[in-house]
Structure 1
Amino acid sequence: MMQHILIPTDFSQHAWNATSYALQFFKSVNTTFHFFHIEKPNDLSENPLHLDSLVTSKTASEGSLKMKEWRQKVTAYDTSTNHYFKEESVESSFVEAIKTYIIKHSIDLLVMGSKGSSCFTGRAIGSKTARVITRVKCPVLIIPEKAVFKKPTRIGLLTDFNLVYKNKVIKTLLAVADIYKSSISVLRVAQAENALEDSQNSNRELLKNQLKEVSHSFHVIENPNLETAVQSFVDSMQIEMIAMIAKNLNLFQRLLFKPQDPNKNYPMHIPFLVLHE
């Protein structure tokens, strides 16, 4: 269950997009939302990280005032009786502050807003965001700038079957899918007409068994261009959320950080769920 959800906020529109989406998505879930504002200490040279758009307040007092206004905005917007709220502001580097907060408060999910109009070009998810995804070992739900909440009837799970999905990964995926009884469509993008290796077949059968309690299906697209294949899958299958395990560096590098065609525009209008072991 998603009992504790952490939302870093710089009080920007991107942060509000993530917040409003999360409030709607988890409307029926008994959840405590933790709003966390991080100010960069004056002696730190590291740029702040909030999916490339974190803007820190000039003073702690300004941050406290903005957090109070943020809480008022949230309570005025949220109509659910299932939600509780906590706020905190700290002065620290972004990644380390997030890691510490997650451990201290047993956070189940991290929700962040993204900047830009493209999910797969690298403009929306750059090197700073990559550090958040790879260094913070907590499931991350990335909410695109242009995302409009819609109950996800289909979740797309990207895999190459090279990894065994551990229980924690499957538990998170099933917990998200259970909220709206979403089906899970598993996609493998094959660059050539190569049969699965024995280990991949074994992992596929294991995943099939792990998903037996939920409606699911398996798909394969033969296309040398991963971004094009995924976008085609999203459009044709009416996928409303994409999920991928963070440990699968091959897919992550190809899809999010080093796309084959950085100039091609892929609309980022659906959330992206990053799963961690």
Structure 2
Amino acid sequence: MKKILVAIDYSENSRNALHYAFEIARLAGAGLTLIHAFYPVMSPPAAHSATDVIQALEEGKGRALLEFADQNRKALHMESGEPGRFDAVPVNVIAKMGGSYEKILETIERHNIDLVVMGMQGGEAVSQALLGSTTISVMQKSRVPVLAVPEGIPFNQFATIVFAVNLSKLSARADLRFLSNFVGAFKANLQVLHLYRNEAQQTTFDTTQPLQHLTEQFKDIPYTINFGLHADVAHGIQRFIRTEKADLLVLVPQKHTTLERLMDKSVTGRITAHPLVALLALPSDTLQPKETNLESMVTQEQL
């Protein structure tokens, strides 16, 4: 992990997200790129070129963003009691006119970002579905992991990490290297959680192959497998987090329609509505990666 993107809107929540990003970057030896997306308060004067005005606005916003990063780096040094704790973390800034969602996804691709860090505000499922949640939307579309930092929850060393996963969706081609490296970097205690919704699932699901895949994926880190029975998966995950006193929850969000969100069927949406800890969302195809064109051709030839 070399490049971490941090979404900044100058709220206290984004300051907190920046703290998380600095801590991760320091440990991973990564650099930070801060992005601020904005819309102008008014249209440019008719006598001026719109392109020139936009460029001037972006440059000015960029300078303000760099100053914001420097001020927060100094503040974090004072809070930690270690004057040079984050001095080795390089910081770049990007200020772009436009919507946050679009500019974040655009920057991920253009700058080869490895991890996105964003603030996360709670809200009921209906509110998230109707008004839209930038963080959840980025989680569902991003090709890289997204760390969502809840409002009012300060950074705490990731000592215990819970990976809540539906093992029935874990294919032989699943790629969990990012999570394995992340857990290893923090020397964390990884708790893998699989919840059955009912007894029928519990009695019919064969865990042999999924557990073998986990062994292969997590061969370099210690981990514990936990099984439970809970009709309400989101509630069951939250309860497990409390029991284990976890510092971070890891999920693989699945794509849901607006109607499904309104009907409260999104586990990720329900958890982000009332977050207890930071949430690391792995890309939606982590468990079942799509075939590349070459792999598809090889498969067809074999058939």
Q: What band does the TM-score fall into relative to the shorter chain?
A: 0.7 to 0.9
Q: Aligned with 1:26: secondary structure?
A: helix
Equivalences for residues 211-250 of structure 1 within 5 A: 211-247=218-254
Give the aligned partner of residue 54 of structure 1: none
Return the structure number with greater helix share.
Answer: 2
Task: Give me the whole-angstrom Cα distance separating, in 2, the residues matched to 1:27 and 1:123.
Answer: 38
Whole-Å Cα distance in 2 between the matches of residues 256 and 61 of structure 1?
36
Letter in 2 for 1:257: G
Structure 1 segments, 4+ long, off by >6 Å, are: none
Paired amino acid for 2:198: A
3-state SS in 1 of match to 2:152:
coil
CA contact (8 A) 2:172 2:213 kept: no
1:140 is displaced (CA, Å) by 0.1
Instruction: Determine helix, strand or coil for the equivalent of 2:72.
Output: helix
CA RMSD of aligned residues (A): 3.0
Q: Aligned residue pairs: how many?
A: 252
* Sequence identity percentage: 18
- Find 1:197's aligned residue among 184, 187, 205: 205
Deviations 1:26-64 (A, max 9, x none): 333311100011113689xxxxxxxxxxxxxxx647634
Q: 1:257 aligns with which of 269, 272, 276?
A: 269
Shift of the 148–125 alpha-carbon distance from structure 1 to 2, 3 Å rule, reads: farther
Q: Is the 8 A contact 2:114 2:145 kept in 1?
A: yes
Unaligned runs of 5+ in 2: 43-56, 78-84, 287-303
Query: What are the ranges of 5 or more consecutive residues in structure 1 without an aligned counterpart?
Result: 44-58
Shift of 1:124: 8.9
Q: How far off its partner does 1:169 sit?
A: 4.0
SS of aligned partner of 1:162: helix
Aligned counterpart, 1:183:
189
Matches within 5 A, 1:62-77: 63-76=61-74, 77=76
C-alpha separation in 1, matches of 2:151 and 2:173: 31
Distance 1:29 1:167 in 2: 26
Report the CA distance shift for 1:165/1:154 in structure 2 as closer, same or farther (over 3 A).
Answer: farther
Distance 1:60 1:248, change over 3 A: closer
Distance 1:3-1:123 versus aligned 2 partners, 3 A rule: farther
Deviations 1:62-111 (A, max 9, x none): 63453143133133235323300001111123222222211221110000
- What pairs with 1:1-277 in structure 2 (closer than 5 Å)? 2-40=1-39, 60=58, 63-76=61-74, 77-78=76-77, 79-116=85-122, 121-122=124-125, 127-129=132-134, 130-164=136-170, 169-193=175-199, 194-198=202-206, 200-247=207-254, 253-257=265-269, 266=274, 268-276=275-283, 277=286
Deviation, structure 1 residue 114? 1.0
Contact 1:169 1:275 (C-alpha < 8 Å) held by counterparts: no
* Aligned CA distance change for structure 1 residues 135 and 153 (closer, same or farther; 3 Å): same
Task: Measure the CA separation in 1 of the matches of 2:128 and 2:189.
Answer: 27
In 2, the alpha carbon distance for the partners of 1:83 and 1:258 equals 34
Residues 157 and 242 in structure 1, CA contact (< 8 A), matched pair in contact too: yes
Inter-partner Cα distance in structure 2 for 1:125 and 1:155 = 26
SS in 2 for 1:147: coil
Q: Which structure would you say has the larger Rg? A: 2
Structure 1 residue 165: Cα displacement:
5.6
SS at match of 1:11: coil
